[in-house]
Chain A
Amino acid sequence: DAGVIQSPRHEVTEMGQEVTLRCKPISGHDYLFWYRQTMMRGLELLIYFNNNVPIDDSGMPEDRFSAKMPNASFSTLKIQPSEPRDSAVYFCASSFDSQETQYFGPGTRLLVL
């Protein structure tokens, strides 16, 4: 199994630009999670989906952030417009319904200049 796949692995952009992060969960997993990791705040849950439906988006910092899951094998996290304080590593994770163990992707390292 390929595991959770994220792209791009690194992204450097300028303030005000739109950023789109992508995630492919493990096949058969019906939960998908987006996390952000920074030195100051550690690993924080942004949003999670169950069967492609957003369940809890209380961690999304503000309206500049949006996430979609159009099908069971693909999700996006979009930041528009981006700001320097959005610089972080963004992780996607997935899990299978009856098990709570989440499996993480390699992350996308975002730098907003």
Chain B
Amino acid sequence: EDQVTQSPEALRLQEGESSSLNCSYTVSGLRGLFWYRQDPGKGPEFLFTLYSAGEEKEKERLKATLTKKESFLHITAPKPEDSATYLCAVVVRGGGNKLTFGTGTQLKVEL
């Protein structure tokens, strides 16, 4: 069975304190890995898609990387507005367009 595990469950950072969120996956054949951001009371908002090991994507203070077993979401010099839940999801070969989500990392950035 395809599994996606995110860690830590929750993370509290001071503004400017860089860190990384982890998404490890066990799947039959990865077709793509997705990162979403979810604010309270809202739907997940798409951030990145990664398709192959070694691939990296960047957007403002966020950088996502992918290996054959896991993905990292690096947050550089975070600001309070980066506070949200970050979700990782995978699409597998032969799985249609079905996304399997991890349970997320709840990030809080404090002043």
Contact = CB atoms under 8 A, between A and B. Distances in A.
Contacts of B101: 42-44
Interface residues of B, number: 23
Interface of B: 31-32, 34, 36, 41-46, 49, 87, 89, 91, 96-104
A70 B56 CA distance: 40
A28 B89 CA distance: 24
Given A43-B87, A107-B43, A102 B102 contact: no
Contacts, number: 52
A100 B44 contact: no
A107 to B, nearest CB: 5
Interface residues of A, number: 22
24 contacts: A4-B43, A33-B97, A33-B99, A42-B101, A43-B87, A43-B89, A44-B101, A45-B99, A45-B100, A48-B96, A48-B98, A50-B97, A55-B96, A91-B43, A93-B43, A100-B31, A100-B32, A100-B34, A101-B49, A102-B46, A103-B46, A106-B42, A107-B41, A107-B43
